[in-house]
Amino acid sequence: MFNAAPNHLLTLRDLLRFAVSRFNEAGLFFGHGNTDAWNEAVYLVLHRLNLPLDQLEPFLDARLIPVEIKQVLELIEARVTTRKPAAYLTNEAWLGAYRFYVDERVIVPRSFIAELLPEALEPWIEYPELIHSALDLCTGSGCLAILLAEHYPDAEVDAIDLSPEALEVAAINVAEYGLETRVQLVESNLLEAVEGKTYDLIVSNPPYVDAPSVAMLPDEYLHEPELALGSGEDGLDATRLIIENASRFLTPHGILVVEIGHNREVLEPQYPELAFTWLETSNGDGFVFLLTREQLIDAGL
């Protein structure tokens, strides 16, 4: 099928139809930025042709030259045969309007925290200028650390990760945004390397997939660093360590924001004394919680 395709596919519309058919036939999984075969095909084709990602309609019936058809078909086939997420094939991922370099040293960015900054935190942070120090814990590609620096212009930001390979990728992104003087990359097992420091805002998108779910992940997820996915039997080992240690790393009015996937019903009974605030995201209010330092202290944590 692939070898015959160049002789019959002439326009961008033709390539999109072919890509959707191949993706559906192969039973690909879409969970790294695009939600279905059509959106994945549109992204990959526009990316490879160096066209604006938000302008499909004007180009749908444009005829392509043979070298362009070949390049697009190779990308489509790579997505099918390798099962790699599209982000690893294009070396880019988007959070809103922000583009980040990614490769298989880091998890593909897809945090709900990105959409919460800064407006959803305004009840606790009246003015962005009040954030002078911030921490992105388990930073991976550095995406949330960069967003913290962008949204809180007076903040110095630490970005922590256990993986030196992940921090290499984060360094590429920090440099791309010209934030080398404001975002410090720190290799650390959670908070160990910053003992004694305090922050006005700590955000974290730690590993949170439980062991049974890790064992059943689609092939696409197996290209991501295992360290960035699972965290113990119930997926909450890292989250518990963060909750139980965060208070001494927060300033008196500091807040903690953590993403935990679908684990709300598992986490809340473990800390009945904590009044979690669950922030509303595009997928509902069960994925990201907020706690103040005062709440942590009152709970004896």
pLDDT band at 301 (very low <50, low <70, confident <90, very high): very high
- Residue-wise pLDDT for 188-197, tens only, equals 999 999 999 9
Domains and CATH numbers, the chain: 5-90 (1.10.8), 105-298 (3.40.50.150)
What is the C-alpha to C-alpha distance for residues 95 and 136, in angstroms, rounded to an integer?
A: 16
pLDDT by residue (tens digit) across 120-174?
A: 999 999 999 999 999 999 999 999 999 999 999 999 999 999 999 999 999 999 9
Q: Do 111 and 141 touch, CB atoms closer than 8 A? A: no
What are the tens digits of pLDDT across the range 36-90?
A: 999 999 999 999 999 999 999 999 999 999 999 999 999 999 999 999 999 999 9
Whether the Cβ atoms of residue 130 and residue 97 lie closer than 8 Å to each other: no
pLDDT score, position 4: 54
pLDDT above 70 for 5: no
Mean pLDDT across 14-22: 97
Q: 0.85 cut: is pTM over it?
A: yes
